[in-house]
Amino acid sequence: MAIIAVLLYHDALDRGVRNIARGGLLGVDAFFVLSGYLITTLLLLERARMGRIDFRAFWARRARRLLPALLLLLLGVAAYAAFAATPEELSEIRGQGFATLFYVQNWYVIAVDPAIRSPLGHAWSLAIEEQWYFIWPPLLGFLLWWFKDRLGRVFLVAVALVAASVFIMWMLYEPGGGGRSRVYRGTDTRAQALLVGAALAIFLQWIGGPRRAWVKFVVEVAGITGALVFAAAIVRTSRSQHFLYRGGFLLVALAVGAVVLAAIQPGSPVVRRVLSIAPLRWLGLISYGVYLYHVPIDVWLSEERVGLSGDALLVFRTAITIGLATASYFLVEMPVRNGVLRGRPARILLPLSVVVVSVALLLSTADAPTGTAEREPLQRQTR
């Protein structure tokens, strides 16, 4: 559901139109909550089972899951730069390409404030996720050690960190002023959604799932309410609304957390059943690839290049994106995740792949102009 909202949102931005998902950018917040919940749950279960967290193994698993598709994306963007990009696009592709490769694209965009449309304009959220993967596991491990595995105290720290992130966003945001990119893309300001998911995971490991019938009923009602709040936010909000930066992002994160809480209950009669519909589950399986590839596809398959417009163009782009994401999932992502490359071959191939991608980005953008490119309206470019 989140990836559908993001697809519609970026399509509307690209074509300069309005559709039902004017707040589809909040699909990213749903991804953040899910990631915070899932990763924290895995870490807590490992701690409970083994008495420790193997951080090296955790980061290796994340690399096997995320890097293959990302490297494929960057090779595709390098090909676009070599054969289809305009000279004005090349310098931005080079800068954002390397920032994406090293998972700092959000801070790159904050610092540079680009106005040239880029096929990597959406990679800021990937950078935040990866920074989360590096920072949160050691911090969680330290908290568990410090509080001697008292999850109640760890939960309170997670809640305090949520509040701190909300406070930083509140203080940095200037209604009608500049710096919105800093608030929108900052790791510290957007960590609130990740931390809401993490707090939910800690709470459930501490308290356990609902057992009494009336508690399960309350959880189900909360999940349905959360789904309705999330849907309303997708339909009615926009990135420019002050409400989002004054607690709105937190409200959306809490709504998604309520949906997650209801969905994981085995007896959930509505939320779990709806989210178990096969097409939604299948799209969820390939959602990482869909998110990675859909913006470059939008940039490449423009109205001028394909001769389509309106809904026909949306359907065509979506079909290409889903096809590419499906192929990536079954032919690249899952084989690597399941152990096709392990041991010495993996240790050699990973740095070699990074070198190959780096060289491809450098060569494909060699004709980038050194001067300042003509700047187009920012809202159409940075996504």
Band (351; pLDDT cuts 50, 70, 90): confident
pLDDT at 203: 97
Structure tokens at 201: 């995971």
pLDDT above 60: residue 375: no
Are 287 and 2 in contact by the 8 Å Cβ rule? The answer is: yes
What is the rounded distance in angstroms from the CA atom of residue 54 to the CA atom of residue 136?
13
What tens digit of pLDDT does each residue of 258-289 get?
Answer: 999 999 998 889 999 999 999 999 999 999 99
Band (371; pLDDT cuts 50, 70, 90): low
Band (309; pLDDT cuts 50, 70, 90): confident
What is the rounded distance in angstroms from the CA atom of residue 42 to the CA atom of residue 208?
15
What are the C-alpha distances in Å from 275 to residues 13, 149, 223, 227? 27, 33, 11, 11
What tens digit of pLDDT does each residue of 38-57 get?
Answer: 999 999 999 999 999 999 99
pTM higher than 0.75: yes
Tell me what the mean pLDDT of segment 66-89 comes to.
93
Band (345; pLDDT cuts 50, 70, 90): confident
Give the count of alpha carbons within 13 A of 300, CB side only.
Answer: 22
pLDDT at 374: 44
What is the rounded distance in angstroms from the CA atom of residue 143 to the CA atom of residue 10?
39
So where are the chain's domains?
2-363
pLDDT at 177: 65
Mean pLDDT value across the chain = 90
Band (116; pLDDT cuts 50, 70, 90): confident
Radius of gyration from C-alpha coordinates of the chain = 21
Q: Give the sign of the dihedral formed by CA 282, CA 287, CA 293, CA 297.
A: positive
Structure tokens at 28: 């990213």
**Type of residue found at 374:** E
What is the rounded distance in angstroms from the CA atom of residue 210 to the CA atom of residue 262?
10
3-state secondary structure of 283: helix
Tell me what the mean pLDDT of segment 88-106 comes to.
93
Band (370; pLDDT cuts 50, 70, 90): low
pLDDT at 45: 96
Contacts of 75 (CB under 8 A, 6+ apart): 356, 357, 360
What is the rounded distance in angstroms from the CA atom of residue 257 to the CA atom of residue 252?
9
